[in-house]
Amino acid sequence: MGLDLKAYLKRFHEMGERRYDFSAIEKRFAHLREGKKWLTADDVLWVLHPDNAPFGNYWPVPSKKHLDQLSKKRLRLGWHSQSKKDMVERLLSVLHNIGVTSIILRCTHPDCFGVFSTPMLNVLQLSRNSTVEIYLAYCDELSEWKSHFHLSSVAEAEMAITALEKIIKYGEKESEAAQKNLQEDLWVQRRRAANVVRPFLRDFGSLQLARILLDEHPRLAGMIAGAEYERLLGVASLRFLERELSSEDGANAVLLGELQFRGKISKGERVKLNEVWVIRNKAVHGRELPPPATAVNRMIDSIEKICGSWEPSETSR
């Protein structure tokens, strides 16, 4: 059974000692949303007062020094000539607290922003290099959850996931069921896995990624390195023999023989690359015992040292 996130949105409104009217809170910030007026200290103090909204129970009121800056900066939060990043950066530079910044943005533009929460990063499996980057990625990810679970806004997605996280952490009897709902939802786990893996895929090549995974999962590391080796065999076939690599069994061994004959690899290198193929087979085929990490490490070393020059340089293209 998949995760029913809408049910957790209902639970969010049941949490705490009192219920707040978030529609009324958002209406209170309509003048900022429309860009008719600039943000004032009164706006910040109002939304952080526990009589008006729950946020002040978790986030501190900015210092007088920072609040005084609002009257000098005259920040408008309408969309006129500014992006989401501009808005976050400008507001954060005055308030100096991503939590309070996110509260103001969530109340002003609930369709686009949610309240920032460190425990939520663990649920979403997000990380970035800067405060602004992580908050923007956080809101983008919440937007994906909003669309998938048919919620009305990013803010609603944030509230629903917040309720889910709190029930998992503090729900006693409900905790196990909530955790199971989260873990067994395939879409959610795909999103979480993608958020973890995507930075590695973006920042590292296949062989680097294989080396990173070596200690944790030698078979997976071998599969990734094996796929890269097959790609490089195809590159070598096109570049040096001017033909596509055959898909027939043994084509790789034939190619290596021709590469040695043409002086592109030595006899010793051919032996090492034959071993690479053996290790690749052990990693790819489930009926084989998985290769040990030492063998996969040797495989990666051989591919890097021997096959790295097969890629044509930019100047030769």
170 and 71 in one domain?
yes
Residue 225 lies in a domain: yes
307 and 190 in one domain?
no
Residue 73 lies in a domain: yes
Instruction: Render pLDDT for 127-179 as a digit per residue (tens, 0 to 9).
Output: 998 999 999 999 999 999 999 999 999 999 999 999 999 999 888 788 999 99
Here the tokens at position 271 are: 């032996």
277 and 135 in one domain?
no
From 176, 199, 222, give the residue that closes a domain. Answer: 199
Q: Where are the alpha helices (DSSP H) in the chain?
A: 5-14, 22-28, 30-33, 41-47, 64-73, 84-95, 98-108, 118-124, 131-148, 154-170, 175-183, 186-203, 206-213, 218-241, 251-261, 267-284, 293-302
Residue 74 lies in a domain: yes
Cα 77 to chain centroid distance, Å, stands at: 27
Instruction: Render pLDDT for 279-301 as a digit per residue (tens, 0 to 9).
Output: 999 999 877 788 999 999 999 99
186 and 261 in one domain?
no
170 and 219 in one domain?
no
CA pair distance 299, 225, nearest whole angstrom: 8
From 199, 228, 260, give the residue that closes a domain. Answer: 199
Instruction: Render pLDDT for 173-213 as a digit per residue (tens, 0 to 9).
Output: 889 999 999 999 999 999 999 998 888 888 888 999 999 99
Name the residue range of residue 14's domain.
Answer: 5-199
pLDDT value of position 24: 95
Cα 314 to chain centroid distance, Å, stands at: 31
The mean of the pLDDT values for the chain is 92
Given a cut of 70, whether residue 302 has pLDDT beyond it is yes
Q: Which amino acid is at 295?
A: A
The phi and psi torsions of 63 (rounded to 5 degrees) equal -65, 160
Given a cut of 70, whether residue 1 has pLDDT beyond it is no
From 146, 171, 199, give the residue that closes a domain. Answer: 199
Given a cut of 90, whether residue 30 has pLDDT beyond it is yes
213 and 187 in one domain?
no
222 and 195 in one domain?
no
Using an 8 Å Cβ cutoff, are 154 and 139 in contact?
A: yes
210 and 115 in one domain?
no
Residue 110 lies in a domain: yes
Given a cut of 80, whether residue 313 has pLDDT beyond it is no
Residue 142 lies in a domain: yes
Residue 19 lies in a domain: yes
Here the tokens at position 28 are: 């209170």
Residue 195 lies in a domain: yes
pLDDT band at residue 125, thresholds of 50, 70 and 90?
A: very high
CB hemisphere CA count around 298 (13 angstroms): 16
Q: Is 1 helix (H, G, I), strand (E, B) or coil?
A: coil
The structure's pTM equals: 0.77
pLDDT band at residue 17, thresholds of 50, 70 and 90?
A: low
Instruction: Render pLDDT for 227-240 as a digit per residue (tens, 0 to 9).
Output: 999 999 999 999 99
CA pair distance 84, 215, nearest whole angstrom: 40
Tokens 């990625």, residue located: 137
Q: Considering the chain, what percentage of its residues have pLDDT values greater than 90?
A: 79
CB burial readout 50-81, b (16+ within 10 A) else e = eebbbbbeebeebeeebbebbeeeebbbbeee
176 and 222 in one domain?
no
pLDDT band at residue 101, thresholds of 50, 70 and 90?
A: very high
Q: Is the dihedral of CA 150, 156, 160, 165 positive or negative?
A: positive
225 and 155 in one domain?
no
Using an 8 Å Cβ cutoff, are 273 and 255 in contact?
A: no
127 and 107 in one domain?
yes
The count of structural domains within the chain is: 2
Residue 317 lies in a domain: no
CA pair distance 92, 136, nearest whole angstrom: 12
Using an 8 Å Cβ cutoff, are 4 and 48 in contact?
A: no
222 and 96 in one domain?
no
